[in-house]
Amino acid sequence: MKATQKLTLIGVSIAAAMVLSYVETLIPVPFAVPGIKLGLANTVALFLLFRLDWKAAGLVSLIRVLLSGLLFGNAASLAYSAAGAALSLVVMALLKKTGAFSPVGISVSGAVAHNVGQILMAVVLLGTDQILWWLPALAVSGIVTGLAIGAAGAVLIKKISIPIR
């Protein structure tokens, strides 16, 4: 793949991730547990992880987290999202490298890791470990949303090929 093609794909991926992040802000999540989100933009990161590499997925995730935090959130939400996205990417990249997991399995693991990263950041920022009580509910939501995002990502990975030249 030529450098301009890769740059274009990354730019389009950032745009897609931003649109999905915005759409997610419009969808009400009727749960009393703070931090539960669908993670629609993670479809893009999962796709890039399989079609390009972890660096492209990480770059798009980083830019999306920064822009989403600035546009739709605040400093705290930016910190939570950054911690979650970083841990999620590390877990997904390591699992993909093993070759033993499907996109769905990697997505579920990434979603749960994202929630763990958010909770760890909350422990640091709030200075209390009482927030750990939210982790089981967030883990369940991560499994459910990870399954959905993984299924969507698997379809994209299967249907969209990227020519390598």
Q: What is the mean pLDDT of residues 130-146?
A: 93
- What CATH number is attached to the domain comprising 85? 1.10.1760.20
Q: What does each C-alpha distance from 138 to 52, 89, 112 come to in angstroms?
A: 29, 18, 8
Higher confidence at residue 134 or residue 109? 109
Stated as kind and residue range, the H or E segment containing 28 is none
Tally of domains within the chain: 1
Q: Which burial class, exposed, middle or buried, applies to 115 when counting CB atoms under 10 A from its CB (0-12, 13-18, 19+)?
A: buried
What is the rounded CA–CA span in Å between residue 67 and residue 72?
Answer: 8
Residue bearing the bigger pLDDT, 129 or 34: 129
Mean pLDDT, rounded, of the chain: 92
pLDDT tier, 25 (very low <50, low <70, confident <90, very high otherwise)? confident
Q: Inform me whether the pLDDT recorded for 91 exceeds 70.
A: yes
Q: With bands split at pLDDT 50, 70 and 90, how would you rate the model's confidence at 164? A: low
pTM beyond 0.95, yes or no: no
Task: Report if residue 67 sits inside a domain.
Answer: yes
**Between 29 and 110, the higher pLDDT residue:** 110
Q: How far apart are CA 163 and CA 132, in angstroms?
A: 45
- Provide the percentage of residues in the chain whose pLDDT is more than 70: 95
pLDDT 10s digits, 98-121: 999 999 999 999 999 999 999 999
Residue 23 pLDDT:
93
- 165 occurs within a structural domain: no
The answer to whether residue 45 scores a pLDDT higher than 90 is yes
* In-domain check, residue 164: no
Q: Mean pLDDT throughout 93-97?
A: 97
Full domain range(s) for residue 56: 3-159
